[in-house]
């Protein structure tokens, strides 16, 4: 069964990011684990523990994320765009990926290849260039292979809420269908 990890950086359960993710989930098959602000993930403290040890010394729900990351097929980064950056929630989660980077460097243990999707939601057009690069880098640390299956944007939510952005909603559904097809093709090999 296909497994998808969604790192949802939104602080709102019924906001614009949720609207796009809901459209995506309408078509996505398999098991989904969605990490949200309710998981209360502590950001990296730069304690350097992971330089010489496996894993992270912070014992919170990020431990579940690490385990699921080992077995999932897909990773989704979804975030509102705040001042041309990922949200604080998304950055807290991303900062804790440092241990994965360190284990790859220290032990040569990369994660299995994964597919990736990015969702970016912002109030104004043209504020997503820098944040897109950040989201791609985060996916790379989780061993998402190129090309990314989809980058879905709704970047004018001051005027058009994501729930009414038909192009973005269509792209969200299409990204899910592409992930389903990619998984089926891989299983047929």
Instruction: Please state the rounded mean pLDDT for residues 142-162.
Output: 92
Q: pLDDT, tens digit, for every residue of 30-44? A: 999 999 999 999 999
Q: For strands 74-82 and 85-86, give the pairing.
A: antiparallel
Write out the residue range of the structural domain in which residue 50 sits: 3-188
Q: pLDDT, tens digit, for every residue of 73-120? A: 999 999 999 989 999 999 999 999 988 877 766 677 667 889 999 999
Count of domains in the chain? Answer: 1
d(CA 61, CA 83): 27
CATH of the domain at 137: 3.40.50.360
pTM: 0.94
Interaxial angle between packed helices 62-71 and 98-107, expressed in degrees from 0 to 180 and rounded to the nearest 10: 50
């Amino acid at each position: 069964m296909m497994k998808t990890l969604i790192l949802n950086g939104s602080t709102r359960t019924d906001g614009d990011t949720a609207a796009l993710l809901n459209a995506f989930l309408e078509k996505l098959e398999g098991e989904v684990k969605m990490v949200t602000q309710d998981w209360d993930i502590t950001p990296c403290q730069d304690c350097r523990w992971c330089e010489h040890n496996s894993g992270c010394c912070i014992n919170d729900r990020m431990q579940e994320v690490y385990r699921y990351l080992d077995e999932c097929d897909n990773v989704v980064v979804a975030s509102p765009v705040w001042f041309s950056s990922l949200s604080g929630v998304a950055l807290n989660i991303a900062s804790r990926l440092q241990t994965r980077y360190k284990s790859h460097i220290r032990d040569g243990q990369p994660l299995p290849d994964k597919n990736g999707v990015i969702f970016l939601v912002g109030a104004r057009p043209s504020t997503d260039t820098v944040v897109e690069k950040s989201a791609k880098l985060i996916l790379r640390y989780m061993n998402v292979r190129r090309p990314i299956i989809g980058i879905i944007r709704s970047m004018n939510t001051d005027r058009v809420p994501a729930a009414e952005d038909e192009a973005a909603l269509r792209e969200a559904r299409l990204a899910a269908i592409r992930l389903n097809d990619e998984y089926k093709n891989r299983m047929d090999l």
